[in-house]
Amino acid sequence: MLAADIAAETWRREKKAIPNPGGYLQSLCAALVVPSWYQTSEERKAKALEAEERRLASKKSQDELKAAEEKEAQAREEYWASISEAERHGFRLAVTRFGFELPVTAIAAMAKTLAWESRSRMYTQEHSAPQ
């Protein structure tokens, strides 16, 4: 069984056809030398399981990050909708003062971000002020 497993792993690694597989396997059985790179099927299974666990953890982390980003984007949109048109206009003006000619959608996105950051700074200052 060990010789057959070594033969199979050798074929997987080298990806080349063995012209006489039966003779190759017979020669392995007659004078079996375990290559230094060889890992048992249990070791290979354990490594595959670890890799799958890492992949799932990474995917979970990415999903959580995406959910947090979506939640923040929703909060930013809700905040933008809650402020007055005069405040919105002020944020749009602040963005256009940089002197760049930007598309309307870019100005709107930057103004919303500026409003959100301004709100966050005000919130932080209100809650960190000594009582």
pLDDT of the residue at 39: 95
pLDDT (average), residues 31-57: 95
pLDDT of the residue at 28: 86
pLDDT, tens digit, 9 for 90 and up, residues 57-115: 999 999 999 999 999 999 999 999 999 999 999 999 988 887 778 888 998 999 999 99
pTM: 0.56
- Percent of the chain exceeding pLDDT 90 equals 46
* Residue from 119, 20, 29 nearest 5 by CA: 29
Phi-psi region of 6 (alpha: psi -120 to 50; beta: other; left: phi over 0): alpha
Report d(CA 111, CA 93) in Å as an integer.
8
pLDDT band at 36 (very low <50, low <70, confident <90, very high): very high
pLDDT at 2 over 70: yes
C-alpha pair distances (Å), 93 with each of 42, 86, 96:
65, 10, 5
What residues contact 92, with CB distance under 8 A and at least 6 apart? 107, 108, 111
pLDDT of the residue at 123: 58
C-alpha pair distances (Å), 37 with each of 33, 34, 115:
12, 8, 59
pLDDT, tens digit, 9 for 90 and up, residues 6-33: 988 988 888 888 888 888 889 888 988 8
